[in-house]
Amino acid sequence: MNKEEFIAKHAVPRKGTNSLKWDALGERFGNPDLTAAWVADMEFKAPQEVLEAIKKRVDHGVFGYSYVWDSYYEAFSNWERERHGYDVKKDWMRFSTGIVTALYWFVNAFTKPSESVLILTPVYYPFFNAVKDNGRNLVTCELIQKNGSYSIDFDAFEQQIVEHEVKLFIQCSPHNPVGRVWTEEELRQVLAICKKHGVLVVSDEIHQDLVFEGHKHIPSAIIDDGAYQDQIITVTAPSKTFNLAGLLVSHIIIPNAELRKTYDDYVKTVNQTEVNVLGLTGAEAAYRHGQDWLSGLLEVVQSNYKHLKDTLLQHAPNIVIAPLEGTYLTWVDLNAYVNPEDVKSFIQDKCGVAIDFGEWFSESGKGFIRINLATEPKYIEHIAEQMIKHLPANV
């Protein structure tokens, strides 16, 4: 499906639909009339096959307790194998209502109070919360930034592990917000360091399907033919790929039997909720039939990124925009034009846009913004117009 077909078929207004992204702008940002480009969901309907599958289940009229049926495992496993080369076994899989919820569980299940958990910053801010809210010692390692492109400081990474006796590393792959799709060699180095020091790796791979030409997502668990999988827990979900966050389906993949037992023993103390039958129904349909829909979405995101980048750089060439290798989130450095303390007033008051602010992702993110590109081009065009209108012409 090409971009034009995708937009014509799937674009939909979300105001007035109890959308967190649009209808909570007054509560979250103090202005209900902003253009929403913050939280990571979309202005696009799910694949038609998903809608039809859910409608069919709704027509049955019963929404009682359910379980994860065999055809769901089959659909998800086929998707992982065909797109990412990961052969996921049924007995490795567990489920949660969301990846953030699962991160909180992992921190409690696999570390003790005051033990250290490491993250690479800037990074999705619930990573911080999962560690700090549970009384663990948060350890950060800043990514190296050069001309907007980010890489891992492996020496600093290992030094932080040794110095703080890190027990758990929460990885973001592909990385939100900087848009990196880690290479096989980068992943291998990280995993080797973690294995050397006995560090458990939780790999958040929720953006695995949102990768652009010239880049390939490699699940951490398959590096070197699975040499590190006994120390890895992978989390994925259909929510980012197919805009299904409200259906509350996330996957937890634990190949190692001992880790699974530790997880199971912990999670039964905090979660006795059965699965969401409508969520699984929709997700299965997406994994079986969503390939064409996804190709259209990726074309839209790439086109929006190009328009935003070209427009901003034509007017303000000293803006730094991170290369978009993966995710549908672009990371923009405004420091050359806007005082970091003034970014909020610039973006919200002058441009009329709601975005995620860089300091939410790390202290070094001050002066940066994260813009959601998974939307109709008209919104990205409007945001670009407003930004060039209010940015100074020269610095």
**Does the bond joining 122 to the residue before it have cis omega, within 30 degrees of 0?**
yes
- What averages of pLDDT result for each successive group of 10 residues across the chain (395 residues)? 95 97 97 97 98 98 96 98 98 97 98 97 98 98 96 98 98 98 98 98 98 97 97 98 97 98 97 93 98 98 98 95 98 97 96 98 96 98 97 68
Question: Exposure string (b/e) for 35-51, b if CB count within 10 Å is 16 or more?
Answer: bbbbbbbbbbebbebbe
Record the tokens describing residue 274, joined without a space: 């059965």
Counts for the chain of helices (H) and strands (E), in that order: 15, 15
User: Which among 277, 329, 279, 217 is positioned nearest to 46, based on CA atoms?
Assistant: 279
Predicted pLDDT at 133: 98
SS3 content of the chain, % helix, strand, coil (to 5): 45, 15, 35
Predicted pLDDT at 394: 52
CATH 3.10.20.30 fits 3-45+291-390, yes or no: no
Residues in CB range of 197: below 8 A, 6 or more apart: 158, 161, 162, 166
- Extended beta strands in 1-154, E state: 35-36, 93-96, 116-121, 137-142, 144-146, 149-151
Angle at 304 between CA 30 and CA 376, to 5 degrees: 60
Locate CATH 3.40.640.10 in the chain: 51-289
Q: How far apart are CA 238 and CA 226, in angstroms?
A: 23
User: Which among 285, 209, 254, 247 is positioned nearest to 90, based on CA atoms?
Assistant: 254
Question: Exposure string (b/e) for 253-262, b if CB count within 10 Å is 16 or more?
Answer: bbbbeebbee
Between strands 35-36 and 353-354, the pairing is parallel
> With 0-12 CB in 10 A as exposed, 13-18 as middle and 19+ as buried, what is 24?
middle
Predicted pLDDT at 392: 81
3-state secondary structure of 153: coil
Q: How far apart are CA 329 and CA 344, in angstroms?
A: 18
3-state secondary structure of 102: helix
Radius of gyration of the chain (CA): 21
**Cross-strand bridge partners of residue 331:** 370
Predicted pLDDT at 141: 98
Locate CATH 3.90.1150.10 in the chain: 3-45+291-390
The correct CATH number of 51-289 out of 3.40.640.10, 2.40.50.140, 3.40.50.2300, 3.40.50.1000 is 3.40.640.10
Q: How far apart are CA 170 and CA 210, in angstroms?
A: 20
Predicted pLDDT at 393: 65
